């Protein structure tokens, strides 16, 4: 029964690696990277607005869902203030510090996103396997 959850999480890992490979392939083009970030943002906003917010509202009510969404936004905002000032490696030949800042924000946002996503995906599958697919 749990094999499907593990396989779906591995598929998520593989597709993330494909995205990383694509970004590395396009790394010389700031325009292509900005387009990719915008496209990814559009997908995440669409999923949030059309799927996650309505389901959260139905399950919890408007006020608790808005509180949870606000808490998540505050957490990412705080990460934006704290984390971009600490670089994990020295960037060489990169002039545009705004791109570096955006990159760190996206990376840490994804890290913060992956744990609850995995938790939600596994629980959805355990509760009703058709939810996780």
Q: What percent of the chain has pLDDT over 70?
A: 72
**What's the number of domains the chain is made of?**
1
- Taking CA atoms, 47 is separated from 51, 107, 110, in Å, by 5, 19, 15
pLDDT digit string, tens, across residues 62-102: 999 999 989 988 987 887 777 655 555 566 665 667 777 77
Place of tokens 């083009």: 29
Task: Please give the mean pLDDT across all residues of the chain.
Answer: 76
Written as six digits, the tokens of 28 are 């010389």
The range of the structural domain enclosing residue 91 comes to 3-132
Question: Mean pLDDT, to the nearest integer, of 25-48?
Answer: 81
> Distance of alpha carbon 69 from its chain centroid, rounded?
14
The gap from C-alpha 121 to its chain's centroid, in whole angstroms, comes to 14
CA distance 20 to 63: 37
């Amino acid at each position: 029964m749990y094999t499907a959850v593990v396989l779906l999480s591995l598929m998520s890992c593989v597709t993330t690696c494909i995205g990383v490979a694509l970004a590395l392939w396009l790394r010389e083009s700031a325009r292509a990277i900005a387009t990719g970030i915008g496209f990814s943002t559009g997908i995440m906003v669409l999923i949030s607005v059309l799927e996650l917010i309505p389901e959260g509202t139905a399950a919890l009510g408007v006020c608790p869902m808005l509180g949870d969404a606000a808490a998540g936004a505050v957490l990412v905002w705080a990460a934006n203030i704290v984390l971009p000032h600490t670089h994990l490696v020295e960037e060489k030949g990169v002039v545009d510090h705004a791109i570096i800042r955006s990159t760190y924000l996206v990376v840490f946002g994804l890290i913060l996103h992956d744990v609850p996503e995995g938790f939600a995906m596994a629980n959805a599958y355990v509760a009703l396997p058709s939810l996780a697919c």
